[in-house]
Chain A
C-alpha cells in the first residue's frame, strides 16, 4: 500500500533544487498561457501541489504564476477549480488580492474560508451567500445553492456573530420552507428512457419511503425517488445543519430576543401544547419559534419512518443515525422551551420501548438516556429501566464496541454531577463500567482518569481497590468470555487452551463470575483469589492483558489521591491492610507487580504522614509484615517503606497508645530480620538485598532505640559486629564494594549518634516544629539569617 515509491516522491518534492523549481514555474506559466488545457497542465498542477504541500515551510509562488492560478478558480472545468484551490491553500495569499464574491463556486469559497484571518474577512462572503439564497433563480447548476448551507454552517461554527439578526430570521424562514414544505413528487432526473418512453412515463411520481411504500407525508431525508428536485436537496442540507443551527442561535443563554418576545413565545408555546399539534396554528409564531415547531415535527416523522424495514443496509444505518440526530434535536428544543417536554416525551418514551431490547440500537439509546436525564424529572417519568440498561446491559455485553464505549463514557463525563445526584446505582456500577477499560485500556484510560474520582466512595472504596488491582484478570476473563462464545467446546483452541478450559469448568466458574459481576456490594473480593491467578497464569503475556496492566498504576494513584478526601481513619487503616495483603496477591505479570508495589509504597507513606497514629493502630499487621524475612526479597519496595514508617511513626509523640513494650517488640522483629539478611548469602533464586533495605532497617532500629534507651546496647552490638565482619571488604549478602562501604558508614554514623542518647532522640525523631520551616519567626535562628543577609548586602558594595 505505502511503498518506497511514495517515499521517494515525497523526498524529491522536498529536495527539489531552486533552479529546477524556477524552471518548473516557468514551464507551468507557459502552459497556463495556452488556450487549451491538456494532460500536461493538469499533471504539472498536481506536481506543484505536491511540491508545495511536502514542506513544512511555505513556498511562495512567483506573482505571475500565482495570478494565473487564481484565474483558474473560476474556470468552468471543475478539475481546474479543485487543483487551483488546493494549490493556493498551500501558499500565502497575494497581498492586495481583490476578491470577487459573486459567482463563487464551492472550491473558491472553501479557499476564502481557509484564508480568513478574522471576522471582517468572512462577513462579505456571508452577505453574498444570503444574497444568493434570497434570489429566486439560481444561475448555476442545481448544486450551486446547495453549498451555501455547508459554508454557512462552517461560518456559524467559528464566528456565529457574523450573521446579523436579519440573516438569522431569513434563514430560519428558509429552513422551515425546505424542511417542511419540500416537494413530495420525484425530481426531474433521468427518465427510465427506452424506446417506448413518452410524455406519460415522464410524469413525476410521488416520493417513497425506504421500504418501498408510497410516502404519505412531507419529504424528509428518509424519502427516496428516482431523482430529486432542488428543494429536496435543500431539505437534506437543511436537516444536516439543523442541530448546529439550533445550538448556535437557539440555546437558552444565546437568546437575544427582548423580554417581551420571550413572554410571548412562552405563552404561545403553552397554548399550543394544550391543543393537538396542527401545523396551521404554528403560522402565528415568530420565525425562530416556528422553526422549533417544524424541527419537532420533522424529528417526529423521522422517528416514525425509522420503524420501517429499509431495503438496503446503508439505509438501515442511516435510519439509526437519523434517530440519534432526532433525539438530540428534540433534547435541544426541549431545553430551549421546557413546555415542549410534555409533547415530546411520549414520542421518546415510545421510541425507547421499541429499541430497549435490541442491543444493535445501543448507540441510539445513549442520547435517549441523555434526554431522560435532562427531562425525566420534570415529566415525572420512571428512569430506572434506562439506567439499568446504561449501567447494566451495555457495559456487560457491549464492552468491545469502541464507539459505544466512547459515547457512553462521554455521556458519563458530561453528566457526572447529575448522575451522582439522580442515579444512586452509578457509584455501585464500577465493576461493569471498568469492563470498558479492561477490554480497550489504551483508548479508555483517558476517560477513566476523569471518571474514577466520582466512583470513589467511602462505602465501596475497598471493593474498588480490589477491583482495580484485578483489572488484568478481568481483561483476561473478558477475552475468555468472548472466545468461549465463539468456539465450540470440543475444538482445540490452540494457545489459550488451559485458561479456556478453566473458564468453562463448573467448579471454578464462580471465581470468573465474581470478576464479571455487574454491581458492587456483594463482597470486597473472593477468598480463592490465588487460585484464580494461577488459572490465569498463561494470560500474563496476552497483549490485551499487558496493556491493561500498564494502565492500573495510574488509576491506583488517582484512587488513593481521591480516597484520602472521603475516608475516615478506620477506612484508611483497612486500606493499608489491603495493600499489605495484596502486595503478594497479584497476577504474575513481572513489571506489573513492581509498579503496583511502587504505588503502594508511595501512598503508604502519604497515608502515614497524614495520619501517623495509623502506624500504632495497625502495628500488629505492620510488624507481622516487617518481621517476615521473605518479604525483603519478594516485596523489597513495600518492605522498605513499611520499615521506614514503623521507625518514623511508632512513637509516643505520634500516638499516646505507643508503649515501651510495643517499641521493644518492633525492635526485636526488625533486629531479627536484619541479623538474618546480613549473616548469610540470600536464599537460592533471590538477589542480594538492596543496600537501601539494610540502611532503612538500621535507621529504624536506631530510631526505636533512641526512644527506649535500654535497646541501645543491642543495636550498638550489631553495629560493632557489622564493622568487624565487613573489614574484609566483601560480604555474601552485598556484592558491591561501594555499597558495602556506604552501609558500614551509615552504621558508624548511627552508632556514634546513639552514644549520646538524648541527642540521638532529637536528631532521629525531631519534634514536628523543627521540620516546618519558619526560620524568620524563630528568634534563635533568625539572627544568623539577618547577619548573613546584611553581610551579603554590604559585600556586594
Chain B
C-alpha cells in the first residue's frame, strides 16, 4: 500500500534554507508506524510523523534538483489550461529510502516534478511500481486541474479537502487500484461533482 502522498516545493523558498522543502499537502495512510514499538503520546507521534514527511520532501527535493541539473533541460512556464502538457514535460523518478531513513522499513518514493512543485508517493518497495507511477501521474494531473496549480493562487493550502476526496476515490486508504478507463471515468465523475459544489 501507499504510505503517504505529499505535495511540496522543489524550488528555493525564501523563508527556508536551500535544501529544505515546504510541504503544502501531506496525507499519511494507515496507523502510525510507531504504534507497536513505543509508547509515545499522540502529540509526539504527530510530530514524528510530520518530521518523517519533511525528511521525504527534502530527499525528493534534492533528487529533483540533481536530476534537473543532470538533464540540463530548461523549465518552461506553463499557464492554466496546459495541465496535460505540463505533465508530459514533467520530470519523474524514484528515490530509494533506506530502512530507518525515515520509515522503519525500506521504501520507494516515486516523484513527479512540475515546475516548482513536487508530487511524491511513498510506497513499499514490493508494491506494483508500474501501477503506482500511473496512479501518481493521474493524481498529479487532477491536482493541477482542480486546484489551478499552474496559476498563482494558493488553493492547494485552503482547498486541501479536494485532494482528500481525490485520494478517497483513486487511492482509498492508500490502496492502489487497477482501474481501466471506464472505472476511472466513473470515479472521476464523482470527483468532478464534488469539485463543482
Q: Are B174 and A221 closer than 8 Å at their CB atoms?
A: no
Chain A positions within 8 Å of B157 at CB level: 6, 9-10, 50
Q: Decide: A82 near B175, CB < 8 A? Known: A2-B13, A114-B28, A446-B98.
A: no
Q: Are B168 and A106 closer than 8 Å at their CB atoms?
A: yes
Chain B positions within 8 Å of A57 at CB level: 43, 47
Chain A positions within 8 Å of B93 at CB level: 402-403, 440, 443
| Docked pose: A446 CA to B149 CA in angstroms | 33
Q: Are B165 and A78 closer than 8 Å at their CB atoms?
A: yes
Q: Are B128 and A321 closer than 8 Å at their CB atoms?
A: yes
B182 CB to closest chain A CB (Å) equals: 4
Chain A positions within 8 Å of B28 at CB level: 114
Interface residue A375 (Cβ < 8 Å from any Cβ of B): no
Interface residue B50 (Cβ < 8 Å from any Cβ of A): yes
Chain B positions within 8 Å of A391 at CB level: none
Interface residue B131 (Cβ < 8 Å from any Cβ of A): yes
- In the complex, what residue of chain B is closest to A153 when comparing beta carbons? B175
Interface residue A635 (Cβ < 8 Å from any Cβ of B): no
Between B98, B134, B152, B183, the greatest number of chain A beta carbons within 10 A of the residue's beta carbon is seen for B183
| Docked pose: A321 CA to B176 CA in angstroms | 11
For residues 49 through 97 of chain B, which have their beta carbon under 8 Å from a beta carbon of chain A? 50, 62-63, 66-67, 69-72, 92-96
- In the complex, what residue of chain B is closest to A239 when comparing beta carbons? B178
B88 CB to closest chain A CB (Å) equals: 12
Q: Decide: A402 near B94, CB < 8 A? Known: A56-B47, A440-B67.
A: yes
Q: Are A158 and B130 closer than 8 Å at their CB atoms?
A: no
Chain A positions within 8 Å of B71 at CB level: 544
- Residue of B92, B114, B125 near A402 (CB, 8 A) is B92
B90 CB to closest chain A CB (Å) equals: 12
Chain B positions within 8 Å of A221 at CB level: 178-180, 183
Interface residue B192 (Cβ < 8 Å from any Cβ of A): no
- Residue of A11, A79, A318, A407 near B129 (CB, 8 A) is A407
Chain A positions within 8 Å of B133 at CB level: 403
Between B36, B126, B156, B161, the greatest number of chain A beta carbons within 10 A of the residue's beta carbon is seen for B161
Q: Are B117 and A2 closer than 8 Å at their CB atoms?
A: yes
| Docked pose: A233 CA to B179 CA in angstroms | 10
| Docked pose: A58 CA to B98 CA in angstroms | 28
Chain A positions within 8 Å of B172 at CB level: 106, 146-147, 150
Interface residue B139 (Cβ < 8 Å from any Cβ of A): no
Chain A positions within 8 Å of B126 at CB level: 247
Q: Are B128 and A325 closer than 8 Å at their CB atoms?
A: yes
Chain A positions within 8 Å of B43 at CB level: 57-58, 92
- In the complex, what residue of chain A is closest to B162 when comparing beta carbons? A82
B49 CB to closest chain A CB (Å) equals: 9
- In the complex, what residue of chain B is closest to A409 when comparing beta carbons? B96
- In the complex, what residue of chain A is closest to B68 when comparing beta carbons? A543
| Docked pose: A227 CA to B1 CA in angstroms | 27
Q: Are A147 and B46 closer than 8 Å at their CB atoms?
A: no
Q: Are B175 and A1 closer than 8 Å at their CB atoms?
A: no
- In the complex, what residue of chain A is closest to B30 when comparing beta carbons? A154
Q: Are B161 and A82 closer than 8 Å at their CB atoms?
A: yes
Interface residue B100 (Cβ < 8 Å from any Cβ of A): no
Interface residue A704 (Cβ < 8 Å from any Cβ of B): no
Q: Decide: A324 near B131, CB < 8 A? Known: A93-B42, A122-B31.
A: yes
The interface size bin for chain A is 35 or more
Q: Are A82 and B181 closer than 8 Å at their CB atoms?
A: no
A15 CB to closest chain B CB (Å) equals: 12
Stretch in contact with the other chain, from A16-24, A270-278, A309-317, A710-718: A309-317
Chain A positions within 8 Å of B24 at CB level: 2, 6
Q: Are B186 and A228 closer than 8 Å at their CB atoms?
A: yes
Interface residue A301 (Cβ < 8 Å from any Cβ of B): no
Chain B positions within 8 Å of A7 at CB level: 13-15, 22
A310 CB to closest chain B CB (Å) equals: 8
Interface residue A110 (Cβ < 8 Å from any Cβ of B): yes
- In the complex, what residue of chain B is closest to A189 when comparing beta carbons? B186
| Docked pose: A157 CA to B33 CA in angstroms | 11
B75 CB to closest chain A CB (Å) equals: 10
| Docked pose: A92 CA to B14 CA in angstroms | 31
- In the complex, what residue of chain A is closest to B25 when comparing beta carbons? A53
Question: How many A-B contacts are there with CB distance less than 8 Å?
Answer: 236
Q: Decide: A321 near B178, CB < 8 A? Known: A2-B11, A7-B13, A58-B43.
A: yes
Q: Are A440 and B22 closer than 8 Å at their CB atoms?
A: no
A-side interface mostly: helix
- Residue of B66, B94, B179 near A236 (CB, 8 A) is B179
- Over the window 122-146 of chain B, the binary record of Cβ atoms lying under 8 Å from chain A Cβ atoms (1 yes, 0 no) is 0001101111011000000000000
For residues 316 through 335 of chain A, which have their beta carbon under 8 Å from a beta carbon of chain B? 317-318, 320-322, 324-325, 328
| Docked pose: A402 CA to B67 CA in angstroms | 10
B39 CB to closest chain A CB (Å) equals: 9
Q: Are B35 and A154 closer than 8 Å at their CB atoms?
A: no
Q: Decide: A403 near B129, CB < 8 A? Known: A1-B150, A3-B154, A314-B184.
A: yes
Q: Are A315 and B181 closer than 8 Å at their CB atoms?
A: yes
Q: Are A224 and B181 closer than 8 Å at their CB atoms?
A: yes
- Residue of B108, B149, B154, B194 near A5 (CB, 8 A) is B154
| Docked pose: A1 CA to B149 CA in angstroms | 6
- Over the window 163-179 of chain B, the binary record of Cβ atoms lying under 8 Å from chain A Cβ atoms (1 yes, 0 no) is 01100100011111111
Q: Decide: A46 near B31, CB < 8 A? Known: A157-B1, A312-B181, A321-B178.
A: no
For residues 543 through 582 of chain A, which have their beta carbon under 8 Å from a beta carbon of chain B? 543-544, 547
Interface residue A116 (Cβ < 8 Å from any Cβ of B): yes
Q: Are A113 and B31 closer than 8 Å at their CB atoms?
A: yes
For residues 159 through 193 of chain A, which have their beta carbon under 8 Å from a beta carbon of chain B? 159
Q: Are B47 and A363 closer than 8 Å at their CB atoms?
A: no
Q: Are A410 and B13 closer than 8 Å at their CB atoms?
A: no
A223 CB to closest chain B CB (Å) equals: 8
- Residue of A56, A153, A328 near B128 (CB, 8 A) is A328
| Docked pose: A6 CA to B14 CA in angstroms | 12
Q: Are B165 and A113 closer than 8 Å at their CB atoms?
A: no
Interface residue B9 (Cβ < 8 Å from any Cβ of A): yes
Chain A positions within 8 Å of B128 at CB level: 243, 321, 324-325, 328
- In the complex, what residue of chain B is closest to A226 when comparing beta carbons? B182
| Docked pose: A183 CA to B141 CA in angstroms | 32
| Docked pose: A83 CA to B157 CA in angstroms | 13
* Extra inter-chain contacts (12) besides given A1-B114, A117-B32, A320-B130, CB under 8 Å: A2-B13, A2-B117, A3-B154, A82-B164, A86-B164, A221-B179, A225-B182, A325-B178, A403-B92, A406-B108, A544-B70, A547-B69
Binding site for A on B (CB under 8 A): 1, 9, 11, 13-15, 22, 24, 28-32, 35-36, 42-43, 46-47, 50, 62-63, 66-67, 69-72, 92-96, 98, 108, 110, 114-117, 125-126, 128-131, 133-134, 149-150, 152-154, 156-161, 164-165, 168, 172-184, 186, 194, 197
16 contacts between A and B (CB under 8 A): A2-B116, A6-B154, A7-B15, A50-B160, A117-B35, A150-B173, A158-B35, A221-B179, A228-B186, A314-B181, A321-B178, A402-B92, A403-B92, A443-B95, A446-B96, A547-B69
